[in-house]
C-alpha cells in the first residue's frame, strides 16, 4: 500500500481503547434476564457493540414494543453503572501509545456509540481528557455505520477524508469509515475477530495497541 501520513486519527472507545466489552456483555445479559427475555450468547451481544444503545437493543430483540424497549434500556444502564463502579481500564499499551501519538502532533478524536455522559465518566475515570481534541457520541450524530460522526469531525478539524484514519474493533466502526471514504484499521482484541473485521476491507488489522502504534509510526 502507498505510504500515507494521517493528520487525524479517530478512535472508537469500547473494545478499542477501553477493555469494557465484558461489562457491556454482562449488563446486556442481566437486563434481558430481568425482563424475562431470552439471554443470548456472548458472541451475539458482542456483535452489536459499536451501535448506539437503542439500535443495539432493537437489533438484539426486534419484537420489543416501545415500553419494553425503554425498560430494557433503563435496566441495561442500571446494571452497567453498577458494574462500572470499578471503571473499565485501558487495554495494555493504550496510555503509552496515546502519549506517543500526542507527542508526534497527530490530532486525535473519539467516535463512539456511547452516550455523552457515559463517555465522560469513562474518560474522566481514566484521565484521558487531554488526549482528545474532539469527540462524537450517540447524542451527537446518527448511529454507526452512518458516516455522520466522521463527517462532523472532518469539518471540525478542517481535514480531508484521505488525511484521516478510523481505528475500531467492530464492523460498525469500519463500515462507518468506508461510508465516509476514510481508511480504517481493525483491532482484533475487542468485540470482533480478524475474519469478521477483514470483511470490511480495513487497510490493516492489529492484534495489540503496540502493534497499531508501530504501524502508525511507519505510516
State the pTM of this model. 0.90
Q: Considering only CA atoms, which of 219, 101, 107, 112 is closest in space to residue 176?
A: 112
The set of catalytic residues is: 12, 14
123-166 tens-digit pLDDT: 999 999 999 999 999 999 998 999 999 999 999 999 999 999 99
Eight-class DSSP state of 165: E
Average pLDDT over residues 155-179: 96
Q: What is the 3-state secondary structure (H, E, C) of 47-61?
A: CCECECHHHHHHHHC
pLDDT of residue 2: 52
Q: How confident is the model at residue 50 (pLDDT cuts 50, 70, 90)?
A: confident
Domains parsed from the chain with CATH numbers: 8-18+89-217 (3.40.50.1000), 21-83 (1.10.150)
93-125 tens-digit pLDDT: 999 999 999 999 999 999 999 999 999 999 999
Amino acid at each position: 500500500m502507498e505510504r500515507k501520513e494521517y493528520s487525524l486519527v479517530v478512535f472508537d472507545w469500547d473494545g478499542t481503547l477501553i477493555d469494557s466489552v465484558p461489562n457491556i456483555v454482562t449488563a446486556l445479559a442481566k437486563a434481558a434476564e430481568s425482563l424475562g427475555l431470552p439471554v443470548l450468547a456472548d458472541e451475539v451481544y458482542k456483535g452489536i457493540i459499536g451501535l448506539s444503545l437503542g439500535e443495539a437493543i432493537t437489533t438484539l430483540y426486534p419484537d420489543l414494543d416501545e415500553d419494553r424497549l425503554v425498560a430494557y434500556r433503563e435496566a441495561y444502564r442500571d446494571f452497567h453503572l453498577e458494574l462500572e463502579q470499578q471503571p473499565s481500564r485501558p487495554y495494555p499499551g493504550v496510555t503509552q501509545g496515546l502519549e506517543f501519538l500526542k507527542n508526534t502532533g497527530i490530532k486525535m478524536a473519539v467516535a463512539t456509540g456511547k452516550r455523552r455522559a457515559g463517555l465522560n465518566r469513562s474518560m474522566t475515570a481514566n484521565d484521558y481528557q487531554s488526549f482528545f481534541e474532539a469527540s462524537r457520541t450517540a447524542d451527537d450524530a446518527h448511529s454507526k455505520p452512518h458516516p455522520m460522526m466522521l463527517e462532523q469531525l472532518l469539518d471540525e478539524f478542517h481535514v480531508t477524508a484521505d488525511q484521516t484514519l478510523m481505528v475500531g474493533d467492530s464492523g460498525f466502526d469500519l463500515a462507518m469509515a468506508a461510508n465516509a471514504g476514510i481508511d480504517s484499521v481493525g483491532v482484533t482484541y475487542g468485540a470482533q475477530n480478524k475474519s469478521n473485521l477483514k470483511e470490511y476491507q480495513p487497510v490493516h488489522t492489529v492484534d495489540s495497541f503496540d502493534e497499531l502504534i508501530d504501524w502508525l509510526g511507519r505510516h
